[in-house]
A and B are shown apart, each in its own frame.
Chain A
């Protein structure tokens, strides 16, 4: 029960029963607060008393008294980074960057991730033609659209992989490749998938400087165009939310589209921003400073230590 603050006694004031009872009630109120604010672990949460406070961790107990282990995030991030004389791909788990390199390749680009699975493309050593890949954490599998000279796997959700190839956009459901093209488009690039919805961008015939984003539900293409933009790219989708990049004048800006409203995503101080991946409230993208993770309120830099540049492309 909430009790009022106790007024201090004045000189000569009698220590009455009422004053003592108000002190007792206020003391009990403090005890109630401490009881109410005691932390109790919910599902997959761990709460442990520690000498310097109450330690809260997710998924794994860390044991009292030891050095706290980093909390494993519920997502990982993929992208690329540059070092002098080389260009590589990485997967980042919140504490460690690990290289993703297709054996026998001269270049590997990791674009999309969902759980343990990572997709992208690679260039075999001695070749100039790009081939898609799926990496499940232990094995690389080629993702190559039959009849296409080049394939880029760019997005993944569950068993479904999307991307583009020399025949247009494609969807691979684990057994069958389906290619598609936006009507009147000269190129169709599928970047992301969520459920039955695919997003991407398409270059239009007769208007080469005006690529538009699209949303494709398997039967109908819907334009995703930021009002007033000269270019719009839809890079990723999660549920109803789509992220991407638009160009207005000479400025590139990231966006989040919830199906009705476009919201700018701008890394503070950057000369340009794009949003490349989304999972729940978390968005990854790139600014003129490097990769970032944005949780709706705070930007966290995603920079591979020692790299000359870092690009974050996917989160899952």
Chain B
């Protein structure tokens, strides 16, 4: 992950103020999460097959 954990927001007497910078931190954090998930896509190596289903990636030996 290239980004750091998000800071929790706090309420003040005037309510909740969220800056553009903070929203961009949230966006960067989500994009980092998407990129990490994409990198962890299982890829079949030798003698292994991967079939993607709605519940996950089923791995089997082919020989």
Contacts and interface: CB of A to CB of B under 8 A. Distances in A.
Interface residues of A, number: 38
B47 A280 contact: yes
Contacts of B57: 36-40
A36 B52 contact: yes
B27 A6 contact: yes
Contacts of A6: 27, 30-31
B12 interface: no
Size bracket of the B interface: 20 to 34
Contacts of B47: 74, 280-281
Given A36-B57, A42-B61, A280-B63, A23 B27 contact: yes
A148 interface: no
Contacts of A38: 55-57
Nearest to A33: B37
B38 interface: yes
Nearest to A56: B59
Interface centre among A5, A8, A10 (most CB of B within 10 A): A8
A281 B63 contact: yes
Interface in A1-46: 5-13, 15, 19, 23, 26-27, 29-30, 33-45
Contacts of B41: 33, 37
A39 B42 contact: yes
Given A39-B42, A281-B63, A30 B33 contact: yes
B4 interface: no
A23 B30 contact: yes
Interface string B8-29: 0000000000101001101110
Contacts of A74: 47, 61, 63
Contacts of B40: 34, 37
Given A33-B37, A281-B46, A40 B58 contact: yes
B20 A37 contact: no
A210 to B, nearest CB: 37
A58 interface: yes
A37 B61 contact: no
B24 A33 contact: no
A8 B46 CA distance: 41
A62 interface: no
Contact of A58 (B42, B56, B61): B61
Contacts of B3: none
Contacts of A44: 61
A130 to B, nearest CB: 33
A229 interface: no
A19 B18 CA distance: 14
A9 B30 contact: no
Interface of A: 5-13, 15, 19, 23, 26-27, 29-30, 33-45, 47, 56, 58, 74, 280-281, 295-297
